[in-house]
Amino acid sequence: MKYLFELSKEHKTIPTAEIIACLNSENINFSVLESNEDVFIIEIDSDKSKLQEITRRLSYTYYIDSCLFSCKPTINDIKTQATNNKIDKTGSIAIRYKNRSKNINSKQIIKTLAEIYTPGRDVALNDSDIEVRGLITDSTVHVGLKIAKIDRRQYEERKVQFRPFFSPISLHPKIARVMVNLSSIKNNEILLDPFCGTGGILIEAGIIGVKIIGSDIEEKMIVGCKKNLDFYKIKNYKLFCSDIGDIGKDIDKVDAVVTDFPYGKSTTTKGEEMHLLYERAFKNISYLLKENGKAVIGLSNKDFISLGEKYFTLVEKHDFRAHRSLTRHFVVYQI
C-alpha cells in the first residue's frame, strides 16, 4: 500500500526525518516513492493498523492518507486519474483540500473530484465515513483517503506557561517531541535526559510510553521536574540530582539519550567552561548508551558538533532558527 504524509513545512528536513525515525521505531519496512517539503510518500507491506501507531508520536505532520493518485494539476489529468482510481469503501463522503499553490485555483479541482467520487453517496461534511483529501502544489495534485489527523493542538496545550514549574528557556513541546522521535526510541525502552531541567523532553517521552530517567545538577530542577511529570500523570520515571560525570553510578545503560545541552547566561554550568562541560558530557553519554543506541543533542554552536564525533558516528543534523540571534542545532549521533 502507498501512504502519503502531509508535511507541515515548518522546517526543510525535520518533518521527513521524524517520520523515518518513527517508522524505524515501529519496525515498519518501507520504500520511499517521493519526498519533498510538501509530502513524504512511501510504500509499505504492513497493514495500516501498524502505521496508526506512529500517529500519536508525530509532531511535524498534519495528516496521513492512503494514496489514490498523484498527477499534474490539470483538470483532464485529475479526471482521468480519479476515474481510474475508484474508492471501494462504502459510506458517506467529504472532500477536503489544502491548496499550497498561489497560482492554481482549487475550485475546479475540487468540483472535478466531487463529480467522480460523490455520485451514489451521501455527502457529510461532518463525521463522514470517507474523507478524500486533495493536496495542491504548483506542480502536482496529490489525492488520498484520510487515515489519521495528527493532534498538533496537544503541543500548544503543554507549553511551558501551563506547567506548574517552568523556565523561560524551556523547549517548545513540539520540538521536545521531535527530538524524542529522532532517537527512534521504542515503547517501553529507556530514555535518559542528563540535563533534564524542567522536564520538557521527559514529558514528551513519557506520554508516548517510554521509560524515562532524568538528572540535573540543580536540586531545584529535579524538584520542579517531578512536579511537571506528576502533573501530566507520568508514572514510569526516575529522577536524581547528579553531575554529568557521576550519572553512571546510579543507572545502567540506556536505549537512547535525548537532551538539550546547557547554553547561555540563563543556564548554570557551575562555573565550568562550556567546551569542557560538553567534552565531559559527550564522553559520559557514550558510556551510558547501549550498542547502536542514539543520542539526540541540542547544541547552540555548530562548532561543538565535532566534539560529539570523537565519541559517536554522526547520523544527521538539523539547524533550527529559534529567533534572530540564535540558531539551534539538533544533532543525531549513534554509538
CB 308 within 8 A of CB 269: no
Please, which pLDDT band fits residue 46 given cuts at 50, 70 and 90? confident
Residues 135 and 229 in one domain: no
Domain identity same for 173 and 303? yes
Confidence check: pLDDT of 105 > 80: yes
pLDDT reported for residue 175: 96
Are residue 237 and residue 274 in the same domain, yes or no?
yes
Give the pLDDT score at 53: 85
CATH label of the domain that carries residue 45: 3.30.2130.30
Residue 197 sits in the same domain as residue 318? yes
Using one digit for the tens of pLDDT, what is the confidence trace for 196-255?
Answer: 999 999 999 999 999 999 999 999 999 999 999 999 999 999 999 999 999 999 899 999
Q: Burial, 256: exposed, middle or buried (Cβ in 10 Å; 0-12, 13-18, 19+)? A: buried
What integer pLDDT is reported at residue 272 of this predicted model? 80
Domain co-membership, 252 together with 145? no
Give long-range contacts, CB 8 A cutoff, 24+ apart: 202-206: 202/229, 202/234, 202/237, 203/158, 203/173, 203/176, 203/228, 203/229, 203/232, 203/234, 204/173, 204/176, 204/177, 204/179, 204/180, 205/180, 205/258, 206/232, 206/234, 206/236, 206/237
Could you tell me if 168 and 313 lie in one domain? yes
Verify that 121 and 189 share a domain, yes or no: no
The full 3-state SS of the chain, as one line of letters, equals: CEEEEEECCCCCCHHHHHHHHHHHHCCCCEEEEEECCCEEEEEECCCHHHHHHHHHCCCCEEEEEEEEEEECCCHHHHHHHHHHCCCCCCCCEEEEEEECCCCCCHHHHHHHHHHHHCCCCCECCCCCCEEEEEEECCCCEEEEEEEEECCCHHHHHCCHHHCCCCCCCCCCHHHHHHHHHHCCCCCCCEEEECCCCCCHHHHHHHHCCCEEEEEECCHHHHHHHHHHHHHCCCCCEEEEECCHHHHHHCCCCEEEEEEECCCCCCCCCCCCCHHHHHHHHHHHHHHHEEEEEEEEEEECCHHHHHHHCCCCEEEEEEEEEEECCEEEEEEEEEC
Both 200 and 322 in a single domain?
yes
93 shares a domain with 212: no
Beta-bridge mates of residue 131: 94
pLDDT grade, residue 267 (50/70/90)? low
Mean pLDDT within 18-44: 96
Final residue before a domain boundary, out of 130, 149, 168: 149
- pLDDT score of 264: 60
Last residue of a domain, one of 97, 125, 149: 149
What share of the chain in percent tops pLDDT 70?
97
Grid cell digits, residue 67: 494514496
Range(s) of the domain holding residue 74: 2-149
Region 149-177: mean pLDDT is: 93
Q: Which pLDDT does position 168 carry in this prediction?
A: 77
Among the ranges given (14-23, 279-288, 313-322), the one the predictor scored with the smallest mean pLDDT: 313-322
Q: In whole angstroms, what is the distance from residue 172 CA to residue 323 CA?
A: 13
Beta carbons within 8 Å of 176's beta carbon, 6+ residues apart: 200, 201, 203, 204
What CATH number has the domain bearing residue 221? 3.40.50.150
User: Across all residues in the chain, what is the average pLDDT?
Assistant: 94
Say yes or no: 179 and 325 in one domain: yes
Q: In total, how many domains does the chain have?
A: 2
Does 171 share its domain with 130?
A: no
Question: How would residue 31 be classed by pLDDT, with cut points 50, 70 and 90?
Answer: very high
**Residues 279 and 218 grouped into a single domain:** yes
Report the share of the chain in percent with pLDDT over 90. 88
- Domain boundary (122, 149, 176) is at 149
